[in-house]
Structure 1
Amino acid sequence: MLNLMEIPQKAKPLHPNLSVPRDGWGRPLVVPEGGGKPKGHTRTTTFIDCIEDKSNLIDWQGRMVLMGATKRADLLDKARDLDPDDSADKKTLNLLVEQAKDAAGANDKSRKGTYLHDLSEYVDRGDPLPKAISGADLDDMAAYMMATAPLKVVAIEQFVIVPELSAGGTFDRLSYYEGPGPDGRPIKGNFITDTKTGSIEYGKLKMAAQLAVYSRGKLYDHTLFPVDADDKAAIKEWKKQEFTAEQAAQAYSPLPPVNQDWGIIVHLPAGTGTCDLYWADLRIGWAMANLALTIRQARSTKGALKPFVMQTTGTEVASSSQGV
């Protein structure tokens, strides 16, 4: 029987991963490689989001709002006199929508997923699991441990930047694997590994793109440019600072050699006591990431529409009158 309380230590972080400062849109603020002022970088998941078909998600969210409203009639009372076109009322309505979704349990899976991610860190760091863990969670962690046994965790939760995309994010794991590859032939090396606790029926291209971006990232140590990430005034002043190229270079370091053709998805559906591994084709994923870059750049294209102007000269008016 597996003893999850006596797991050997597997990994230590490559760099400390304290809170990364962010701007008002939640984007990580990063000092560019060549130096200069801190610049907002798009989160990796946001960057590749444009390639995903969100129709199912939008429909699901609409259903959750409606179900939440049946449980929280007070939200309807608060929304009744608000104007959806008024800037101030929009914010209030958005807040009420989130409260309705929460009342319907729309955020339960997300919170559960975050919790399982936290528990998996205990496993991979070799730390004892919390004493208050439920039986179902223990089953999930046992399944996780068995499925990931072929993987040796090299690094956990590392923040990386991909300068050519102006994107950054934190990957779950860097894992060493040696054994049969996706085509059955022997393969070995370090692989970006990401854990998913929800359905993987949709979003396969997005998953591959996410891991592909991480695999091409550079480690970024933001602690070399200290600022209180929770102090908005401090961040405002910090954003005005100019950093030299020499200072910036110290914050960037390469990942250990990592496979950029294949990554690994760890599918740990919450509460099922099952866990399965999948190969993610990062060649397809990187093509999708570059497509996302093209789409994002294209959004700034101007001139697609022009005003329809009818202008007649004096001569044209006279000719028209004579014709009548």
Structure 2
Amino acid sequence: MTTDPFSTVSSELPRDQWGRPLITPPEGGEPVAYQRVTTFVGALEDTYHLNLWSQRMVVLGMAARRDLQLAALAISDPNDRYAKRNLNDIAKQAKDAAAGSAKATIGTALHSYTERIDKGEPLGNVPEEYVPDLNAYRAITEGLESVGIEGFCVNDGLRVGGSYDRIYRFTQEFLAAYEARHGKRLMTPDGDLVEPGDALIGDVKTGNIDLGMGKICMQLGTYANSEDYDHTVGRRTPLLGNPSREWGVVVHLPAGAGAARLVWADIASGWTVASTLARGVHDWRKRKDLAHDFASLTVTKAPEASLVDLIRAAPSYDALVALYAQNASSWTPGLTALASTRKKELGAA
């Protein structure tokens, strides 16, 4: 029996060799590569402190791993392209050795558990030390309805695409519990009353968010101004729940703390920056018309004189003797004959 190659469509979003999502244009046709939202807004991210942290991890990892020290010392030319690749790998291993990737791994796992919670799926085995984290997530999000989980969306104007963590919708239960606990109704930072049914783009973060809120707001703002995308048919639809384009929410769940908090994210400001400054940075980087030659010159290096040429041009007998002393290890009978001829030309006795 022959399998129909058109009977099924992969559930995996197609991507190019650089991991960029391949998106069918709104007008149809062949899929084209869109930039990932995280990469797009990352053009404006301040990575100074992150880079310092990475350097510290590499130093600690190298100090702990004698094998990596030996591997680095064995590289004779660090500018060689293969050596650069090896050094990059050594640096990565050193960073990992200093637990540089441990927090990210833990964060990814907790993120997956929160997704199961919101889908109503069993968690399976959870290490005891992380049970308080998940209980905190349950408690802080109780009454928030997850109408969208890990949905993929695109913004065709910016030609970007990415997956949002959540679209949360406020329920009467959540708002009543908030009012009972805080003695006031829930309002956005700019004073608007939150009503049942209002929805927000949400992000679950397990690490420090203090230095990254700018990027988070740009990212969530871009998602809020995008459309859900179904790659199997290339169809775009409005985001589930029609989330706010003014405010988003970050569920901050620091790994191992057993605590959680909800943080308003100013995604209106984030969108303004992403759609103007970030777009401007990427457009600037694509410019190919910034340099213009108006003069050029190529100078070739004169070839060095050979020993034969130096003997023939020796200005004196002493110069011949000096040439012999400098090249005694490679001197040949032929050079001796040539030097003898030159000696006679110089009239040396």
Place the TM-score, normalised by the shorter chain, in its bin.
Answer: 0.7 to 0.9
Residue 115 and residue 82 in structure 1: after superposition, are their counterparts in 2 closer, same or farther (change >3 A)? farther
Counterpart in the other structure of 2:209: 200
Matched length: 270
What is the percent sequence identity of the aligned residues? 38
Per-residue CA deviation, residues 75-105 of structure 1 (Å, 9 max, x unaligned), is 2322331544333332222222211111111
Amino acid at match of 1:126: G
Per-residue CA deviation, residues 193-231 of structure 1 (Å, 9 max, x unaligned), is 10010001101111111101111121112234xxxxxxx
Distance 1:138 1:310 in 2: 68
Amino acid at match of 1:254: P
Match of residue 210, structure 1, among 200, 203, 219? 219
State the SS of the aligned residue for 1:283.
helix
Match of residue 50, structure 1, among 32, 43, 54? 43
Counterpart in the other structure of 2:61: 68
Q: TM-score, normalised by structure 2?
A: 0.73
CA contact 1:17–1:158 (8 Å) conserved in 2: no
Distance 1:20 1:307 in 2: 44
Counterpart in the other structure of 2:274: 289
Distance 1:270 1:156 in 2: 21
Confirm whether residue 105 of structure 1 aligns to residue 106 of structure 2: no
Show structure 2 runs of 5+ residues with no match: 1-8, 176-185, 298-349
Residue 185 and residue 97 in structure 1: after superposition, are their counterparts in 2 closer, same or farther (change >3 A)? same
Counterpart in the other structure of 1:235: none
Any residues of structure 2 matched to 1:259-278 within 5 Å, and which? 259-278=244-263
Q: Which has the larger radius of gyration?
A: 2
Counterpart in the other structure of 1:116: 110
Distance 1:164 1:30 in 2: 13
Counterpart in the other structure of 1:255: 239
Distance 2:10 2:158 in 1: 21
Show structure 1 runs of 5+ residues with no match: 1-15, 225-247, 312-324
Distance 2:248 2:160 in 1: 19
Residue 21 and residue 277 in structure 1: after superposition, are their counterparts in 2 closer, same or farther (change >3 A)? same
* Cα RMSD (Å): 2.1
Residue 182 and residue 305 in structure 1: after superposition, are their counterparts in 2 closer, same or farther (change >3 A)? same
Greater RCO (CA < 8 Å, at least 6 residues apart)? 1
Q: TM-score, normalised by structure 1?
A: 0.78
Counterpart in the other structure of 1:6: none
CA contact 1:51–1:288 (8 Å) conserved in 2: no
Confirm whether residue 171 of structure 1 aligns to residue 164 of structure 2: yes
Match of residue 298, structure 1, among 284, 303, 313? 284
Residue 269 and residue 85 in structure 1: after superposition, are their counterparts in 2 closer, same or farther (change >3 A)? same
Amino acid at match of 1:260: R
State the SS of the aligned residue for 2:27.
coil
Distance 1:163 1:28 in 2: 13
Deviation for aligned residue 1:302: 3.3
Counterpart in the other structure of 2:181: none
